[in-house]
Amino acid sequence: SSMSEAARTYSLEGQSAIIDKFRALLAASESNQADWKKHAVSLLEKAIAEAGRDGRKPTFSFGEEDSDEASSESAEMQPTAEPLTEESHPVVAEVRPTLDRTVEELENDYKKGLKLRAGDYLRLVNVGKVKSRELEALMPDFETAVAVRRAAVDPLNKLADLPYTNYPYTIAKDACIENPIGYITVPVGIAGPLKINGGVPLQVPMATTEGALVASTNRGCAAIMRSGGVKTVVTAEGMTRAPVVKFSSASDANRLKQWVQAPENFAKLKAEFDGTSRFAKLLSPPEVVLDGRYAHIRFTSKSGDAMGMNMISKATHQAMKFMQSAFPTMKVLALSGNTCCDKKPAAINWIKGRGRSVLAECWLPESVVKSVLKTTPAAMAECARSKFDSGSAAAGAIGGSNAHAANIVAAIFIATGQDLAQVISSSMCSTRMEVEEDGSLYISVTMNCVECGTVGGGTVLPAQRSMLEFLSVAGPSPSFCDPGTHANNLAQIIAATVLAGELSLMAALCTDDLVSSHLKLNRSRLNLYETSAEAGSSSNSLQPTVLLQRPQQGMIRGKSAERTIKVNCSSIL
C-alpha cells in the first residue's frame, strides 16, 4: 500500500515516464521475497529521480550521445574546468515523500499537533490535507518549508536551476512574498562615478539583463564627471490615493467638491488623515474630479521616506470615514478609483506629479561631447528635437519624450527593492537638449512621478537594503534631516542616472552605434537555442553546443570566452 500511496503523492497519473522507468528497473532487478517491499520502494525512488532528470532535458535535445559530446569537448577545451556535479549545484529539492507510514497515520499526528518530518508534510500537501501556504507555520525553518513546497509543485525537478537556499525568508514572509519557492537572480552592475550637486561621487548599482545598458550609462556618467557633475532638485513631493464615490445626483456630487475647499472642512479632514501616521501630511484639499454622479477624490500627501502606497491608503481610508459622516448618502465604491493613478499609464500623474517630482540638468563642454560621446552638441540637439519633439508627438506619447528613461529606472528599482510595477509612471520623463551660446550642450531630464522609497516594501530585504546603504540612503532619514530626505535623494540619484543614460544613448544614435554595440554586448555568444539544422553540423563545429544546459564554469572563463568580442567602452552606446 505504501507503494501505491507513493505513486499518488507523486501524481503518477500521466507520468508514464516514471512508470516506464520503474517497469524497466523492476524487470532488471533481482529481488527475493524477504526484502521485496524495501527493494521496490528504492526502485521507485530511483525511477522518479531518473525521470526527473530526463524532465530537465529540452525536448529538442539530441540524446545522450550529443550531450556527452558537448561536455567532453568543453572539458578538452578547458582542462581546469570542474565537471558539473550535484555538489557544485546543490539546488535540488531534497525533500522526498516518506514511505513508512500511511497518510491516515500522518494526518492523525498532524491533527494532534505533533511535529512531522518534511517528507510527511510533503505527502499531506500532495493529498490536500495540509495547505501549501501553511507550511511555514509548520516547519522549524522556512527553507525546509520552501523545499517541501518545491517538491510538491515540481516532482520532476524542473526548478533545479531556481535557487532557494540561503534566502532571508523570515524577512520576506508577510511583507514581500507568499508561497515562496525560491528567488530569481538578476546580475547587478555598477555605473559611475556620478557627481550630483557637488557631492561625493557615487557609484550607482543597476540590476538588469540587458547587455550594454550598464556600459552605456557608465559612459554617460564619464561625460557628466568631465563636465563637473549633474545638478538635481526635487520640485514636489506627494503620494496620491483617489477613491471614487457615487451620489444620487451630479449636483450632490458637486456639493462635495465645494465642501472640501472650505478651510474648516479641510482642517478636519486633514486632522483625520494625518492622525494615521506621523509621516502622512495631507498637502491641500483633495482634488475632486466629477464625472456625472461619480466623484473622484485625489488625496495628495507626504509619506516620509516610504513610497507611501500603504501609508496613504490607510490615511485615505480614515479620511473617507469622516467624509461619509458629513455626506451620509455618499456611496464609497472603491478606495482606489483610478485617478490616483497607481500602476497604470495615465496623463494625470505626468501633469500633476506623483511621488517625487525631480529634475536633473547638466552643461557639457563641446570638447567633452566630442571626446567622450564621439559627436557634437549640435548633432545631439538636432537628434533630440527630431526624436523627443516630433517623434514623441507623432507617437502620441504621454510622458514619453525621452530616449530610454525606463531602462535606468527599472534597473535601479530592481537593485533597490522598489515596487517594480511603478516603473510605469516613474519612468515618465521629458528630456531636453539644447546648444548654448558658448557651444556647450545643455541637457535636462524632468521626471514628475518618481514613486520610490527607502523604507517598507522590498527595501527591507538585505540585498536590496545593502544597495541603499551603498548609496547612503537606506532606511529612515536621520533625525537632523527632514523626513523624506533619503527617498528624495534616491529620486535624485535616479534622475541623475537617467540623464547619464539619455546622453549615452542619444550619442549612440547620432553616431549610429546603437546596433553594433547591442550586438556586441546584448547578445549571448553561447549558443543557447540551436536549431536542429545547426545542430546537425555541430560535431564538426569548433564552437561547443550549449542546449539550455547550465554553461559549465570553464566555458565562461575558458577558451570559449575567446569568442567574447573585446569591447572598447568608449565606443559603445
List the one residue from 220, 483, 544, 558 that touches ligand ADP (CB under 6 A).
483
Nearer Cβ to ligand ADP (340/509): 340
In a 10 Å sphere around its CB, with 0-12 CB exposed, 13-18 middle and 19+ buried, how is residue 524 labelled?
A: exposed
In the complex, least distance from residue 456 CB atom to ligand ADP, rounded to whole angstroms: 3
In the complex, least distance from residue 144 CB atom to ligand ADP, rounded to whole angstroms: 28
Alpha-carbon distance of 452 to 492, in angstroms, equals 10
Which three cell numbers mark 488?
A: 528624495
Q: Give the three-state DSSP class for 39.
A: helix
- Considering only the stretches 134-142, 257-265, 287-295, 450-458, report the one whose residues sit in contact with ligand ADP under the rule CB under 6 A: 450-458
Contact between 336 and ligand ADP by CB under 6 A: the answer reads no
Contact between 381 and ligand ADP by CB under 6 A: the answer reads no
Indicate the residue whose CB is closest to ligand ADP: 304
Nearer Cβ to ligand ADP (189/476): 476
Q: Give the three-state DSSP class for 418.
A: coil
Q: How many other CB atoms sit within 10 Å of the CB of residue 234?
A: 18
Alpha-carbon distance of 377 to 514, in angstroms, equals 18
Nearer Cβ to ligand ADP (192/355): 355
Question: Is the Cβ–Cβ distance between 312 and 239 less than 8 Å?
Answer: yes
Single out the residue of 364, 150, 349, 95 nearest to residue 238, CA to CA: 349
- Considering only the stretches 223-231, 400-408, 451-459, 510-518, report the one whose residues sit in contact with ligand ADP under the rule CB under 6 A: 451-459
Catalytic amino acids?
Answer: 210, 343, 419, 518
Question: Is the Cβ–Cβ distance between 468 and 475 less than 8 Å?
Answer: yes
List the one residue from 346, 455, 499, 507 that touches ligand ADP (CB under 6 A).
455
In the complex, least distance from residue 281 CB atom to ligand ADP, rounded to whole angstroms: 11
Contact between 130 and ligand ADP by CB under 6 A: the answer reads no
Alpha-carbon distance of 216 to 218, in angstroms, equals 5
Contact between 409 and ligand ADP by CB under 6 A: the answer reads no
Nearer Cβ to ligand ADP (415/455): 455
Q: Give the three-state DSSP class for 359.
A: strand
Beta strand spans in 147-293 (E): 188-194, 202-207, 231-241, 244-246, 280-282, 287-291
**DSSP code string of 487-552:** HHHHHHHHHHHHHHHHHHHHHHHHHT-HHHHHHHHSS--S--S--HHHHHTTTT-SSPP--SSPPP
Nearer Cβ to ligand ADP (62/299): 299
Torsion of CA 15, 20, 21, 26, to 10 degrees: 130
Long-range contacts of 519-526 (CB under 8 A, 24+ apart): 520/212, 520/565, 520/567, 520/572, 521/211, 521/212, 521/215, 521/567, 521/572, 522/210, 522/211, 522/212, 523/211, 525/563, 525/564, 525/565, 526/551, 526/555, 526/560
Contact between 485 and ligand ADP by CB under 6 A: the answer reads no
Alpha-carbon distance of 317 to 296, in angstroms, equals 14
List the one residue from 182, 220, 308, 337 that touches ligand ADP (CB under 6 A).
308
Scan residues 509-538 and list those touching ligand ADP (CB under 6 A).
Answer: none
Mark residues 285-304: x for contact with ligand ADP by CB under 6 A, - for none: ------------------xx
Rounded to the nearest angstrom, the gap between the alpha carbon of residue 271 and the centroid of all alpha carbons in its chain is 37
Mark residues 27-66: x for contact with ligand ADP by CB under 6 A, - for none: ----------------------------------------
Alpha-carbon distance of 571 to 507, in angstroms, equals 10
Contact between 311 and ligand ADP by CB under 6 A: the answer reads yes
Residues contacting 273, CB < 8 A, separation 6+: 280, 282, 299, 301, 315, 316, 318, 319
Nearer Cβ to ligand ADP (271/548): 271
- Considering only the stretches 99-107, 343-351, 359-367, 453-461, report the one whose residues sit in contact with ligand ADP under the rule CB under 6 A: 453-461
List the one residue from 456, 458, 554, 558 that touches ligand ADP (CB under 6 A).
456
Alpha helices, H only, 188-288 = 213-226, 250-259, 263-274
Contact between 476 and ligand ADP by CB under 6 A: the answer reads yes
Alpha-carbon distance of 233 to 238, in angstroms, equals 15
In the complex, least distance from residue 493 CB atom to ligand ADP, rounded to whole angstroms: 17
Contact between 277 and ligand ADP by CB under 6 A: the answer reads yes
Contact between 279 and ligand ADP by CB under 6 A: the answer reads yes
DSSP bridge pairs for 361:
231, 444
Alpha-carbon distance of 411 to 212, in angstroms, equals 12
In the complex, least distance from residue 266 CB atom to ligand ADP, rounded to whole angstroms: 23
Mark residues 82-111: x for contact with ligand ADP by CB under 6 A, - for none: ------------------------------
Nearer Cβ to ligand ADP (285/304): 304
In the block, residue with C-alpha cell 518618481: 450
Which phi and psi (to 5°) does residue 375 adopt?
-150, -165
Contact between 355 and ligand ADP by CB under 6 A: the answer reads no
Nearer Cβ to ligand ADP (33/480): 480
Contact between 507 and ligand ADP by CB under 6 A: the answer reads no
Contact between 306 and ligand ADP by CB under 6 A: the answer reads yes
Alpha-carbon distance of 242 to 309, in angstroms, equals 11
List the one residue from 136, 272, 274, 305 that touches ligand ADP (CB under 6 A).
305
In the complex, least distance from residue 490 CB atom to ligand ADP, rounded to whole angstroms: 12
In a 10 Å sphere around its CB, with 0-12 CB exposed, 13-18 middle and 19+ buried, how is residue 68 labelled?
A: exposed
Total binding residues toward ligand ADP, as defined by CB under 6 A: 18
List the one residue from 106, 307, 358, 449 that touches ligand ADP (CB under 6 A).
307
- Considering only the stretches 179-187, 289-297, 309-317, 328-336, report the one whose residues sit in contact with ligand ADP under the rule CB under 6 A: 309-317
Nearer Cβ to ligand ADP (400/483): 483
In the complex, least distance from residue 449 CB atom to ligand ADP, rounded to whole angstroms: 15
In the complex, least distance from residue 278 CB atom to ligand ADP, rounded to whole angstroms: 6
Contact between 477 and ligand ADP by CB under 6 A: the answer reads yes
Residues contacting 5, CB < 8 A, separation 6+: 99, 102, 103, 123
Alpha-carbon distance of 324 to 320, in angstroms, equals 6
Q: Which residues here bind ligand ADP, judged by CB under 6 A? A: 277, 279, 303-311, 453, 455-457, 476-477, 483
